[in-house]
Amino acid sequence: MAEQTVLVAIDIGTTKVCVLIGEMAARGGVDVIGIGQAASDGLRKGVVIDIDRTVQSVASAVEAAERISGLKVRSAFVGISGSHISSQNSRGMVAVSGSSRHDVDRGDTVRAIEAARAVSIPNTREILHVVPRGYVVDGQEGVRDPIGMTAVRLEVETHIVTASSTSVQNLTKCVQRAGVEIDELVLAPMATAEATLNDEDRELGVCLADIGGDTTDVAIFQDGSISHCATIPMGGRSVTADLGIVLRVTPDVAESVKFRYGSAVPMNVDPDEVLQVTSIGEESSHGVTRRHIAEIVESRVSEIFKFIGAEIEAAGATNRLQAGLVLTGGGSLLNGVQRAARDQLGMSARIAGPTGLGGLTDQIATPPYSAASGLLLWGARNWPSEEDRASGRALEGVTSRIGKIFKGLMP
């Protein structure tokens, strides 16, 4: 098998690490040929706090995926998120120097994006992505693809995503110590979007929320591209922790109560149904109504939606997201979450699992695997074509591990 047709995704979550090995299919698209998963306990709120444990989780997930595929993992696309991520809009401007008269060429767009990239950011942070959102050609706003247009001045509107350097370094260290080089660090919700949103969602305006274990990643897309992103430091595990505290039960018991009886809509739960639970340190069980459990769940879920609403407001997107809310991640599987989202945010909501991959997808066709699947799709979309390889342009892309601008330019 030609090595350049194989690519790997690693999603390092707060509850699990998931590794997917994909093969570019001859017909186009990507087939999953290896899956590996391991429990993750070296992160808090999306950020590595224990390198050794994280390395162990990554290494064991990589090994499992290698066993299934029969291939050795050398490098991977790796997701990054956490509240240290921030983003801003920036405009870059250049004079058009196109080869034939003043026709905008690819070089002009690259220079414009370089100019937008030259924003001042503190030296404790680094740029992850510079995403072009649209061009202004001689003052004409809203141009999607300026290449070939005649102009004197080209401006680009970009969305710049930055991350704390120490978080980037620690994550990189964990992956490298597990024996894997990094093709690219990708903002997790941007990857997740690849697997859960379609072009129409992005055009109409949509808020994607990946409700994970310790975190909920939010990304807002308007007019076709990302306009805002944030990480909320709570998720499905926060619901479990609340149940554990209020019912005074162990995390395992709380998790199983949540899975079996949890609901985010108390009104839909029979107020007379009583469960027996045994609190820590007690010998006999006592009764708790299912409605009380739902009220505990609802209060945390509604807090999460309050924060999501605040991010939509911060993006200036209130009442403007016609495609509504798309929920994914393990937390979206909690009973009643979709209804709670609609009621609280007053917008349509759907739950999405990953789509777009072929091969071994049975196991991963559910919301907890949207980020890993999206990373594979992201990798495939940014993989240098034969033509790019032949012309040496790939040097600016994946193969040199530094192709951030190049990738932003891919259609």
Ligand X SMILES: Nc1ncnc2c1ncn2[C@@H]1O[C@H](COP(=O)(O)OP(=O)(O)OP(=O)(O)O)[C@@H](O)[C@H]1O
List residues near Mg ion by CB under 5 A. Answer: 13, 212, 371
Q: How far is the CB of 133 from ligand X (least distance, A)?
A: 26
Using the minimum distance from each CB to ligand X, give the nearer residue, 212 or 384: 212
Cβ burial of 358 (10 Å; 0-12, 13-18, 19+) is middle
CA-CA-CA-CA torsion sign (115, 121, 125, 131): negative
Burial annotation 113-144 (CB, 10 A radius, 16+ → b, else e): bebbbebeeeeebbebbbbbbbbbbeeeeebe
CB 40 → ligand X: shortest distance, Å? 6
Given the complex with ligand X, which of 16 and 84 has the nearer CB atom?
16
Torsion-angle region of residue 138: left (phi > 0), alpha (psi -120 to 50) or beta? left
Binding segment (CB under 6 A) for ligand X, from list 252-260, 274-282, 343-351, 399-407:
252-260
| 330 scored as a contact of ligand X (CB under 6 A) | yes
Piece of 89-97, 113-121, 152-160, 330-338 that binds ligand X (CB under 6 A): 330-338
Do residues 61 and 18 make contact, with C-beta atoms less than 8 angstroms apart? yes
In the Cβ-directed half-sphere of 163, how many Cα atoms lie within 13 Å? 22
Q: Which does 235 bind (CB under 5 to 8 A by kind): ligand X, Mg ion, none?
A: ligand X
Answer with the entry of Mg ion, ligand X, none that 330 interacts with (C-beta below 5 to 8 A by kind).
Answer: ligand X
**Closest distance of CB 384 from ligand X, Å:** 29
Residue 51 engages ligand X in binding (rule: CB under 6 A): no
Q: Which of 34, 46, 353, 374 binds ligand X (CB under 6 A)?
A: 46
Query: Which residue do the tokens 């941007």 mark?
Result: 190
Residue nearest to ligand X (CB): 212
According to the binding rule CB under 6 A, does residue 331 interact with ligand X? yes
- Sorted by sequence, the CB contacts under 8 Å of residue 147 that are 6+ apart come out as 104, 105, 106, 109
Q: Write down the least CB distance from residue 216 to Mg ion, Å.
A: 9
By CB under 6 A, residue 353 contacts ligand X: no
Stretch that binds ligand X, among 52-60, 170-178, 209-217, 298-306 (CB under 6 A): 209-217
In angstroms, rounded to a whole number, what is the distance separating the alpha carbons of residues 206 and 88? 18
Is 98 among the residues that bind ligand X (CB under 6 A)?
Answer: no
When the beta carbons of 331 and 359 are compared against ligand X, the nearer one is: 331
| Cβ–Cβ < 8 Å for 114, 92 | yes
Q: Are 136 and 99 in contact (CB under 8 A)?
A: no
* 235 lines the binding site for ligand X (CB under 6 A): yes
Query: Which residue lies nearer to ligand X by CB, 38 or 94?
Result: 38
**Contact status: 259 vs ligand X (CB under 6 A):** yes
Instruction: Name every residue whose Cβ is closer than 8 Å to that of residue 405 and which is 6 or more positions away in sequence.
Output: 110, 113, 114, 117, 130, 396
Answer yes or no whether residue 265 interacts with ligand X by CB under 6 A.
no
Least Å from the CB of residue 322 to Mg ion: 26
Read out DSSP for 363-409? GG-SGGGHHHHHHHHHHHHTSPPHHHHHHTGGGGSGGGT--HHHHHH
